[in-house]
Amino acid sequence: MSVCPPHAAVQVAGTVAALGFRGIYVDANAVAPTTARALGAVVEQAGGRFVDGDLIGGPVRPGGATRLYLSGPAAGEVALLFAPTDLEAVALGDDVAAASALKMCYAAWTKGTSALLLAVRAAAGAYGVEAALLAEWDRTQPGLAARSQAAAGTAGKAWRFAGEMDQVAACFAEVGLPDGFARAAAELYRRLAPLKDVEGDPPLGEVLGRVRARHETPGS
């Protein structure tokens, strides 16, 4: 089972295949369907069996909601292995990239909207209207200010979210949808990548400062 940052998924699969692995290889990484199919080809050419995977949720715990979605001809076989555990495994069928497609659509919303909220706060701050925006949110979008504050908590994980958003962009592009949403989110997360090793959640002001390409107002 491979669980690693998205940008490393291809390298990990290649390393395992080069060792002559002939068992079931589950790639549970946040990659696009095109990447999942490429991973499957690498594994199968070496004699292994490939199962696409998609982890949604936090660390597994009793009574938790974390799920492992699986797809491919051996998905049901792998799902049975997790039956006695606290991780709920769900087989989606024989489509070798279905689990990755689900992950991309899910992450496009969860991580994509977090990136958008940070960009909105950063833009409002650059134009000097952040306080007015927050006041309007309190009136007409209750809870959005708190969500934007919580979005800053993604900063420490932004270094791997960038690659995930690149994969979301590839997922959208494959079916003819605009991929700019995800590519913009990837760029925003790349700006936050230096916060990887910071202990605790960095202050919102620091996060927004890194999000902005410039700190001065337009025209200054």
pLDDT in tens, 1-17: 999 999 999 999 999 99
- State mean pLDDT over 43-61: 95
pLDDT tens string 69-125? 999 999 999 999 999 999 999 999 999 999 999 999 999 999 999 999 999 999 999
Q: How many CB atoms lie within 10 A of CB 60?
A: 16
Asked if residue 60 has pLDDT above 60, the reply is yes
Per-residue pLDDT at 202 exceeds 80: yes
Question: Tell me, what's the pLDDT at 217?
Answer: 41
- The arithmetic mean of pLDDT across residues 25-39, rounded, is 97
Structure tokens at 20: 């002559």
Q: Residue 168's pLDDT band (boundaries 50, 70, 90)?
A: very high
The answer to whether residues 17 and 40 touch, using CB atoms and an 8 Å cutoff, is: no
pLDDT over 70, % of the chain? 97
d(CA 130, CA 170): 33
Q: Look up tokens 């690693």; give the residue.
A: 4
Q: DSSP labels for 3-14?
A: ---GGGHHHHHH
Domains of the chain (ranges; CATH) run: 6-96 (3.40.50.720), 101-211 (1.10.1040.10)
Tokens of 201: 């959640």
Give the model's confidence band at 214: pLDDT under 50 very low, under 70 low, under 90 confident, else very high: low
Token pair for 154: 């993604």
Are the C-beta atoms of residues 28 and 68 closer than 8 Å to each other?
yes
- Asked if residue 220 has pLDDT above 90, the reply is no
- Average pLDDT in the 181-199 region? 93
In sequence order, what E strands does the chain have? 24-27, 49-56, 67-71, 88-91
